[in-house]
Amino acid sequence: MTREVGIGLLGVGWMGELHTASYARVRHHFPELDVVPRFVMAADDVEARARLAVERLGYERFTTDWREVVEHPDVEALSITAPNHMHREMAVAAARAGKHFWGEKPLGRFPAETAEIAAAVEEAGILTTVGLNYRHAPAVLHAKDLIGAGTLGEINHYRCHFVASYSAHPQGVLSWRFLRAAAGLGVLGDLMSHAADLSQFLLGPIARVTARARTLIPRRPKAVPGVGTHFSVAEGGELGDVENEDWVGSLVEFESGLVGILEAGRAVVGPDARYVFEANGTRGAVAWDFERLNELRLHLPLENGDTGWSSVLMGPQHPHFARFLPGAGLPMGFNDLKVIEAYLFLQSLLDGQQREPGVREMLATARVLDAMQRSFDSNAWEDVRALSYPA
């Protein structure tokens, strides 16, 4: 029997639109999941955007007060796609109301806010999904399988960097992402959260870190509230201070003893979205770059003794791929990874089983980010440890 799930949306920006489209696509790509999303209500503090949720996205009604969405009796599940400074209040309210949610990372401005959200979720017993979407790429899942099976031998070298150019232009506007009260952490929360999560997904928990941070462009033109994105560029205008970091570099030691290198940057000229990892073992190696999402670089010795890198194009034999495309070489995209997330979330709602990544995995990443932040100040190695938050 078809199950209807009432959906509420908190934040009608690009990611809110993508969540909505992803819910709608689940039945096409995962038809055995007999669920129909009902788009009940959407909220945004900019009324023009909130209205678009009805006019363009198919929600039944809109509001500028997100609490109305949380309290609506027909809303069973929420998408939290608002800016970081709203995550904690929205997520805690959702948990207390017994509403399951799919939230975007980093779930709070600071690790302590992530910990508070995790505690509320644990107490309420609700189900969650978090937008750590790079885990879902077929090439990443295939790499994890190769590492887990021992095909590459013992991993003894690892590096991962998430560097982007979205704020490389010195006239890139001072959006909320650059303000501590609105975003909290800078690239540490934005991109290093992905790098740290992906690294732990592939290789297990990180035990301790040492890290450094820099703000590469200290002043930017002030943005017009509700207009544009953090990709926008403004010529002239009043300048304001960037209040968080543009670049982070870190050595990390995994619980296994492996030491790796993690880097994140948002103001790097050249790479648009170079989200890369390489794991080298005693018998082989794998490497992946998000800019070539459907390709896994694999290094294994051939029977004739030759060695070298080969490019493995994803195909129907790899995880999730056949849900989207029939043959190797046809490219999946970023939006498809969000459809997989929507599927995992709706699947959890149907059978009551929590799936990864949820708030628990986001909390594990927040602990790593917290250790990196402490290392900025101490200039020393810092242990990854449990987080506390104000009562």
The answer to whether the CB of 274 falls within 8 A of the CB of 164 is: yes
Q: Are 260 and 277 in contact (CB under 8 A)?
A: no
Does the pLDDT value for residue 227 go beyond 80? no
The terminus-to-terminus CA distance of the chain in angstroms comes to 44
pLDDT at 310 over 70: yes
**d(C-alpha 256, C-alpha 202), whole Å:** 12
Helices and strands, counts by H and E, the chain: 11, 17
Residue 84 pLDDT:
97
**Whole-number Å distance between alpha carbons of 380 and 3:** 53
Residue 352 has pLDDT above 70, yes or no: yes
Q: Could you tell me the domains of the chain?
A: 3-133 (3.40.50.720), 138-292+294-329 (3.30.360.10)
pLDDT tens per residue across span 337-348:
999 999 999 999
Model confidence over 232-269: pLDDT tens digits? 888 878 999 999 999 999 999 999 999 999 999 999 99
CA distance 1 to 199: 40
